[in-house]
Amino acid sequence: MKIRIVGAGPAGLYFAALAKAHDPSHDIVIYERNRRDATWGFGVVFSDRALEFLRADDEAMYQYLIPHMQSWSDLAVVHRGERVAIAGNGFASIGRLELLQLLYHHAESLGVTIQFETDIRSLDVLPEADLVLATDGAFSLLRQQHEAQLGTRTEWHTNQFIWYGTSRVFDTLTLTFRETPLGVFCAHHYRYSADMSTFLVEVDAATWQRAGFATMSPQDTIALCEQVFAEDLQGHPIISNHSHWRRFPAISNEHWSHDNLVLLGDALRTVHFSIGSGTRMAMEDAIALAKALRSTRDIAQALHLFEQSRAPAMHKIMEAARVSLHWYEQMAEHMPLNPTDFAYAYMRRTGRVSHAAIKRMDPRLAAAWEAQHPDTPAPPAR
């Protein structure tokens, strides 16, 4: 089968490797506009649960990636300068570029061709193929050219975020909230290598306006963020990688394919980074499509099967991400909570974690919350 893939992110690379490993006669080419050694962003994080899917489906890939990952067993929430550690939340992280390079190497070793520095602006420039994958990310041009047929919906959210890194190496995934005269600043930060951490700063729309970020230079933006998080950075600099303020687009598609074009990964749907699942979802899409193509050579049938098998799990995570995103949009309203209540509210933000679950994960946090609310019945999951 002749397969052409636009975008060498986790979705396209992993699908190509799975399909080629299963049938080496497939002719697969991936077009990637970036250079081999360049990408946006810093590290990405996977929850332990997010890695379990990989272990269950592809133990060899799990074993291939895991030595390159940083991992830890707790997360922490910092509010009013107090750090509340929350046990039972395992995570693993890896630099985005390192992950991509491991996936490039793996796909190429199986015989997949990757053409770097090749920007595909339209389906028309691609050679005839049995199947074309749009794995060109959230702003997929291939999707945009067929939005009407695909039923694409994009909802722009109001918070602004900027994806930075820092040389300070944090112990664990930490969400730090700092109240300033400009408003609330939140940093999502965690180490992803022995000498680097992701440091993603998020603010609500009003804070962003008051700070004047719209017209502030990149250097002044970094200086202000360094000032807000001085205690957390401990003298380490904030580092940019083409970093700029963005709003999160919640993207979904009514139809996942049109003719022989199929959407995977962020091109298909986005999930807010606060639940650390976008890369996992992209890889799960790849697994589901590869499985569907193994079960039938009929492309239309395989695409139908892909959508049918993948939709329920995908919608569940999209819903959790939607609610989590909303919690961050309301962060100023949560600030009056004391640090224990704040950490507890953070843990319950998706509505999927009951009090009983928190008790299992971290009995100390559950007990601290119970002590503060002796007359409140323990809340179930929503």
Ligand X SMILES: Cc1cc2nc3c(=O)[nH]c(=O)nc-3n(C[C@H](O)[C@H](O)[C@H](O)COP(=O)(O)OP(=O)(O)OC[C@H]3O[C@@H](n4cnc5c(N)ncnc54)[C@H](O)[C@@H]3O)c2cc1C
Binding site for ligand X (CB under 6 A): 6-12, 31-34, 44-46, 119-120, 135-137, 141, 161, 163, 200, 265-267, 273, 276-280, 282
For the bound state, the minimum distance from the C-beta of residue 231 to ligand X, rounded and expressed in Å, comes to 23
Report residue 374 as tokens. 């002796």
Residue among 199 and 369 whose Cβ is closer to ligand X? 199
Q: Name the phi and psi angles at 94, rounded to 5.
A: -155, 150
For the bound state, the minimum distance from the C-beta of residue 213 to ligand X, rounded and expressed in Å, comes to 16
For the bound state, the minimum distance from the C-beta of residue 203 to ligand X, rounded and expressed in Å, comes to 14
Question: Using CA atoms, how far apart are residues 13 and 33, in angstroms rounded to an integer?
Answer: 14
**3-state SS of 279-332?**
HHHHHHHHHHHHHHHHHCCCHHHHHHHHHHHHHHHHHHHHHHHHHHHHHHHCHH
Q: Which of 342, 335, 44 lies closest to 203 in space, CA to CA?
A: 335
For the bound state, the minimum distance from the C-beta of residue 242 to ligand X, rounded and expressed in Å, comes to 12
Residue among 71 and 354 whose Cβ is closer to ligand X? 71
Residue among 104 and 344 whose Cβ is closer to ligand X? 104
Q: Say which residue the tokens 């990757």 belong to.
A: 114
For the bound state, the minimum distance from the C-beta of residue 46 to ligand X, rounded and expressed in Å, comes to 6
Residue among 263 and 353 whose Cβ is closer to ligand X? 263
For the bound state, the minimum distance from the C-beta of residue 340 to ligand X, rounded and expressed in Å, comes to 26
Residue among 199 and 344 whose Cβ is closer to ligand X? 199
Report residue 117 as tokens. 């520095």
Residue 75: which residues within 8 A CB-CB, separation 6 or more? 85, 86, 89, 91, 172, 173, 174, 175
Single-letter residue type at 339: P
Other CB atoms within 10 A of residue 37 CB:
9
Residue among 31 and 369 whose Cβ is closer to ligand X? 31
3-state secondary structure of 365: helix
